[in-house]
Structure 1
Amino acid sequence: MSCLALSLQPTNGPDILLQTREWFPPSRALMALSSFRQTRSDPSSDSLGDDPLAASSGQLIVGVESRYRVVYRLVNSIYVLAVTTIDDSNNNVFECINVVNQAVSVVVTACRGVDVTPEKLGKKYAEIYMALDIVLRGVSSIRLAAMLASMHGDGIAKMVHSAIHTESKIRGADNWGSVEPYAVDHEVGVQSFSQSLFELPAETLQAGDEVAASTLGFIQQGEEKELLSSSKVEESEEEKDPFAASDRIGKPEEMLMEGFKKDKALAISDASKALAGLEVTSLPPAAATESTHIGVEGFEGNYGGIEFSNDGSTLQQDFEGINTAWGGGLDASEYVGSKKVKKDEGLGGLEFLGTSDAPAAVASKGAAGDKIEDVLVKKTEMKGPEMYIVEEINAEFRESLLARVGLMGVVYLKTIPPKSSGDDKETEFSFKVEGTEGVKRFVVQSSKVSSLGSGLFHVRTAPSVEPLPIIKYSLLPRMTPLPIRIRLVKRLIGTLLSIMIQYTSNPGLPAPLNDVTIVLKLPVDPTLLKVSPKAVLNRSEKELKWHIDEIPLKGNPGRLRARMPVDLADDDDGSDLEIFGYVKFSAQGYRSLSGISLKSASEGNTNFYETDHRYASGDYICN
């Protein structure tokens, strides 16, 4: 870092101009300039020297707590100042002096001489401002000369946009306009050359054939090719109908079968020659051709099996109708009993739905009671705007250690659905968010929500059919609650792989988790698998799936076990077996998982209704 700011300071009067880099605050630059003014105005200070020539240029360190180096040069009655830090290890003072000299050239050129006054600088203030901005960020001597030449001519536009072609013109480089015709000619030449064909003389081809015939012995192959080509030419000379019937169709059957009749002994000898040198597996014993019973043993016991034999008779008995047009299927009468529907009841008694008794709520209304459709609509009708929170928890466990965790939440607003008449009013109310101590990032939808400070927000939006996300947030990892802790352990003894998953619930949850699914990804397709408790095996995905109805908040950890043999090499210890599990759960309740709650801005006013919050698992895995 070299020059941080450039300034024009008259000997008497306020500063004329200040240019700073983007990361350097202007307030710090003004402090350094004020300190420089006080130092040069103090009669007791000898920092600038007694000699007027020594005071016309130099450098000075100013400031008490925040100290800066000011490189200055006096032009008539105007000081040209450059501000930088005093750290000599990161600064090149001579580069800063060069920037001051370039700024002096700009000022002198703008005033058309060394008689520099504030009035003359004011007439060319815009050009000086842009030129010093370019000089502060670094400019070469070639572009500086072009900028000074255009200061009284083409103005700011030429000064700013001349950087692309200035140096190339000074160095004598050609622009694209002059080089483009040569490029077009070159491309045309390449295309014409790629399409040109060259023929070798006949003497060269003949000499090549002689060399090939003498060295590689291709004479016989060439003769065979000539015979084949001549036969093909003869066949092609005869014009034939491609859809015409063959001439042999009118010949007797003996002529059609010629070429297929062979002597039996000759056929046997040919078969023995063809099988010579091949390993022919022996046929299985006669017992292997008998019907085989394959038992399908599931996790709940023996389901029976299917008997496979050559005639396939049992296949039709077990799956009757499997070859019908619609695929057939299992007979549902096995599960609903043998009771038959009476003929007078039609489609299973569905006609009684229209003649059943009216609900009690309707019957109490008397003869002028409402319809059942109106009653149902009134029950589901919204009283006002509703808000709820949807959170997604992600976690990764490595054995029993938590490797990473994250929670992201979204606050949804559900407005009263718009009416068909078109006189919909905007939804507008205020609310406050509590329990945000562990929030890492908080983002609001600025087009619909405005922040009032201290956790208060104001909503104003048009009615919508779909819920509107108005706030998104994420929690700090150390403040993120874990609904379930999970642990995955594997053990390999010989070729027998044992896997165990332990899980336990967070006792601080508002309610126990229901319908939790734990899936174990197996490394290979299992052949002999033992599972405890019951599970569902998906062979295509190589997954074991357990469904847990409820995990109590307090109690012993649950255990899921699986055991299976794996085929490993002698030097393989099984460390590369990829085994991981993931958990899927979701819950809904009056309280959010993160503890964030939504309240009305003023107590006693129901601006909105807080419905059940929800949270679910995202990438909740263990490996």
Structure 2
Amino acid sequence: MSCLALSLQPANGSDILLQTREWFPPARALVALSAFRQTRLAFASGKHQSAEDGDTSLGDDPLAASSGQVIVGVESRYRVVYRLVNSIYVLGITTVDQDDGVNNVFECISIVNQAVSVVVTACRGVDVTPEKLGRKYAEIYMALDIVLRGISNIRLAAMLASMHGDGIAKMVHSAIATENKIRGADSWKNVEINSLEHQAGVVAFSNATFEMPAEALQAGDEVAVTLVPTGQGSLSEQQDQQKPGEEEVEKDPFAASDAINKPEELVGGFKKDKGSSNDLTKALAGLEVTTLPPAAATESTHIGVEGFEGDYGGIEFSNDGSTLPEDFEGLNQAWGGGLDASEFVGSKKVPKSQGLGGLELLQTSEPPPTAAKGAGTPLENLLVQKTEMKGPEMFILEEIRAEFRESLLARAGLQGMVYLKTLPPKSSGDKETEFSFRIEGTNGIKRVVMQSSRVSSLGNGMFHVRTSSSEEPIPILKYSLLPRVTPLPLRVRLIKRHSGTLLSVMIQYVSNPDLPAPLNDVTFVLKLPVDPSLLKVSPKAILNRSEKELKWHVQEIPLMGNPGRLRARMPVDRNEEDGEEIDVVCYVKFSAQGTKSLSGVSLLPASEGKTDFYEVNHRYESGVYMCN
């Protein structure tokens, strides 16, 4: 059973609204409404006598309460479900069915309750009056029409929310979108694009053809020929030997192999050779037999971290003796360590006749004639005379930055600048310098910026320079490297140990063996947390109390050498039990120059054999190079 009509009937006055289904005539709905009004007035005057069987009404006094249901009519009987909201009756009209299995009055009650929600929302409260219903008559009419046909609670909530806002259009057309939005489903507009892409992919894949190159097919045929057993003959010979009357049966590719039916000793074609005595030699012929590792390799190993105050622990693989430090010296050092020079020096001692260890053998050239004659060399001639510029000069200045946290590299970066030094204005006659050059070794470059007023790019690493003469070097190009390809000239490790009120710090450093030349005049600056009253350092260092800095100056760091160590120990006023972390930072300052740049970037003329400029020594220096 379903609700046939909905109506709004005031307690006093004519009906305000009537909404019916398509197959239910409005005239019959008006008859039911008129019968309900008469029944209501009869109950109000007390003239109506209810039947004893209870068919005509349900409940003790159905119209005295704010909600209920009543059966009206004489010839055409209808069941009216009503709810009283202020002075307005919300009525739902349905048929009277005597069969209890079909009579489901709760469906009609649910529709009336939804209609009450619409009316209360339109009037902004339970103070429902005919005047307020007239102001929202169109919205109420469309809402009750939708409610009469059956809706879910999701759409009812959306309709009530849009009644005073978006209006009738949102109320009528928001059914599918609202349901999908609440349930989390995708709309057809979003899914349609994916389906079209999927269909296009299927069509493109079905039309694609794959062809093997002729070289690949030829190579495959050559390999297939070598795989054919020599004793059975070729495939064409086997086809010729096949009987003409025998029909060729296609073999199932998923059928089991015939090898499972053969005896175990014959699988694979291996047969025992009874006539030979050296079966093991034949079986091992052509196989590469690896030698066993030495006995030392089977012993236990211990990888330890050497500290300046003892053993800091490590990885213990066994309780026996260790062989790793003896057999692989320097394996745990930075960049794999270096070679010990003592391995290439024999035990033969230098004869005493050679004086100072053979250093006089280095003097192989004859003394200059002026020294032989006893004439003194003027001091001006001993000074290195600066060569005169033959043409424009170019060089690269690179700044390397790195940050280590203990022994791990946290950040790294390199920034380079290409400088052009022109002829002085006096010697060049104020002529413009113009030439082309190219840059190689740019695989690791991340970004390049050029001074467009002096340089223009020709493509493929070619650049053209045109500028006026200047006394100072002119920066024309600026570039930066990717962090993962940035070379590190120096690897630094900072270790601190806070025991009680005593703070011990050690700096370990090692040079990159791939550098073109060793680093000279390297300065290590250790930022101290406090101004120390007592200080013990090794080796000697310079203390700056105003800046709380401790400086070490290293003359030279060899390329293939053991790591260097700088130690410092001082008392601090903070105990390790306080839980406060003491910050110690080390800064490294260095600079070097050479014929090659640190990043591998090189400057070359635009055409080989032509000297448009002269390449002088490139330089690199440290920026923020620190370890904390």
Q: TM-score, normalised by structure 2?
A: 0.39
Which has the higher Rg, Structure 1 or Structure 2?
2
